[in-house]
Amino acid sequence: MLTATAITARRAWYKDLSLQILIAMVLGAITGYIWPQSADSMKPLGDLFIKLVRMIVAPIIFCTVVHGIASVGEAKKVGRVAIKALVYFEIVTTLALVIGLVLVNVWAPGAGMHVDPKTLSDSGVKAPAKTLGVGQFLLNLVPSSAVGAFAEGEVIPVLFFSVLFAFGLLALGPKGKPLIETIYSVAQVLFKVIGFVMWTAPIGAFGAIAFTVGKFGPESLVSLGKLVGEFYVCCVIFVALVLTPIAFAAGVNILRLIRYIGAELMIVVGTSSGESVFPRMNAKLRQLGVEESIVALVLPAGYSFNHDGTCLYWSTASVFLAQALGIHLTIGQQLALLATMLFTSKGGAGVAGSAIVVLATTLSATNIIPVAAVGLILGVHRLLSSVFVPVNVLGNALATIVMGRLEKAVDLPTLVSELNRGPDEIITEAS
């Protein structure tokens, strides 16, 4: 069975990864402010870190999903967990969309901007020529080839192939055991590699923040401040009103969970990439006592279908743009917008950096708000993503624990002891 042994030791404060990343982000902001001409040269640092992690994500998904499902030995359980997870994802993302719509209507950050639609220039964000239909969505689930799924690095095709491969391995029975052990060994190597890659996380966070501040100037931190402020409050409200009660029902203290995955949340604040912490989240959830089979199935599925923070972003941004353009959206139109987002959000699932593209797709599908209006929020998109991506990561961590509790697949003493432990650096080793 693929497990993770947490070796906790008191380490010097300066060796704590969360603190290193925080310091790197502060230094990056200072560098971008004092030396803005360095923005373009700093960007590759953040991009390089993300590419290093993405290089490993697809094979890790394959190994963990295949080994997790094959280790269960029961196809019925896999199907049961998958159905429960998808229902959970749909309920929580719907709540996120509703909360986003309600708060942006009450706060009205775009009211009074009076932007003339005729003055909008091409934002550089193109909506697809055709709205993604059900048939095309189903076709996108299946990779053109097994190798292509890994080469393109999209989560859903890799997950689809991995599940099929795992069921094929299950069908072999005892004959498949040697291959299961081989996949387990490969996963051990991949987790070692990701441990090496994480050494560069502070450098990546430094480069990403330096680029943002240097490229858009310090004013980028306050431009469209009402929208940024409203959205940050929206994310806090969602965590407080939705994720906190769910965590309580699952026997989890949400603040302790946030502390436990603090380093990962700091990384995605700096990089705006949830994929950058997928391997570590996989390991940490197993360290919390969640069975490998649950983590292997629910976590990658969550990365594909459970975008809590991004749904908050889509609903908030859409109504904000309508307010800025003076377009009055009726309750019916907003409900239609919500229904469209429920579909288009799945169409863009698993595609890195797809939030802004899916927003354009939604606007194109509803044909109420000009797609070119997306250009109004491009300057602060990075500030918005620095909070909605961590909410995505937190939501998927909680979803995995919840599914584990529903399946009685969580070691409760381990869960409690791990969450109660101090914020020491956790060294993950496959064993």
- pLDDT digit string, tens, across residues 286-322: 999 999 889 988 998 888 788 899 899 989 999 998 9
Q: Identify whether 190 is part of a domain.
A: no
Is it the case that residue 166 has pLDDT exceeding 80? yes
Q: What pLDDT does residue 308 have?
A: 92
Q: Identify whether 179 is part of a domain.
A: no
Domain count, the chain: 1
Are 154 and 17 in contact by the 8 Å Cβ rule? The answer is no
346 closest CA partner among 302, 398, 390, 295 = 302
Residue in the block written with tokens 């009726």: 330
Q: What is the band of 428 on the pLDDT scale with cuts at 50, 70, 90? A: very low
Is it the case that residue 403 has pLDDT exceeding 70? yes
CATH of the domain at 401: 1.10.3860.10
What range defines the domain where residue 127 resides?
16-58+82-141+198-424
Q: What percent of the chain has pLDDT over 70?
A: 80
The region of weakest confidence among 132-141, 147-156, 257-266, 343-352 is: 343-352
Please state, in angstroms and rounded to a whole number, the distance separating the CA atoms of residues 212 and 205. Answer: 11
Residue in the block written with tokens 């002891």: 417
Are 39 and 210 in contact by the 8 Å Cβ rule? The answer is yes
Q: Identify whether 398 is part of a domain.
A: yes
Mean pLDDT over 266-281 rounds to 83
Is it the case that residue 186 has pLDDT exceeding 70? yes
Q: What pLDDT does residue 14 have?
A: 62
Residue in the block written with tokens 């402010």: 33
For the chain, helix, strand, coil in percent to 5 are 80, 5, 20
Residue 372's Cβ-side half-sphere holds a number of Cα atoms within 13 Å equal to 9
Question: What's the chain's average pLDDT?
Answer: 79
For 187, the enclosing helix (H) or strand (E) is: helix 177-197
Q: What pLDDT does residue 38 have?
A: 78
Q: What pLDDT does residue 397 have?
A: 96
Q: What pLDDT does residue 87 have?
A: 93
Q: Identify whether 149 is part of a domain.
A: no
Amino acid at 244: T
Is it the case that residue 169 has pLDDT exceeding 90? no
Mean pLDDT over 18-32 rounds to 81
Mean pLDDT over 212-227 rounds to 61
Beta strands in 160-315 (DSSP E): none
More confident residue, 249 or 225: 249
Mean pLDDT over 222-227 rounds to 64
Is it the case that residue 431 has pLDDT exceeding 80? no
Four-residue CA torsion sign, 198, 203, 209, 215: negative
DSSP string, 82-110: HHHHHHHHHHHHHHHHHHHHHHHHHH-TT
DSSP letter assigned to residue 275: G
Quote the pTM value. Answer: 0.74
The contacts of residue 343 (CB under 8 Å, 6+ apart) are 132
Mean pLDDT over 404-413 rounds to 94
More confident residue, 125 or 14: 14
Q: Identify whether 310 is part of a domain.
A: yes
Q: What pLDDT does residue 223 have?
A: 43
More confident residue, 407 or 14: 407
The region of weakest confidence among 97-111, 330-344, 407-421 is: 330-344
Q: What pLDDT does residue 414 have?
A: 94
311 closest CA partner among 83, 65, 36, 94 = 94
For 429, the enclosing helix (H) or strand (E) is: strand 426-430
Q: What pLDDT does residue 153 have?
A: 63
Q: Identify whether 376 is part of a domain.
A: yes
DSSP string, 380-409: HHHHHHHHHHHHHHHHHHHHHHHHHHHTT-
Mean pLDDT over 414-427 rounds to 73
Mean pLDDT over 138-155 rounds to 73
CB atoms within 10 A of CB 165: 18
Are 149 and 157 in contact by the 8 Å Cβ rule? The answer is yes
More confident residue, 276 or 14: 276
Mean pLDDT over 72-93 rounds to 84
Q: Identify whether 250 is part of a domain.
A: yes
Q: What is the band of 164 on the pLDDT scale with cuts at 50, 70, 90? A: confident
Q: Identify whether 189 is part of a domain.
A: no
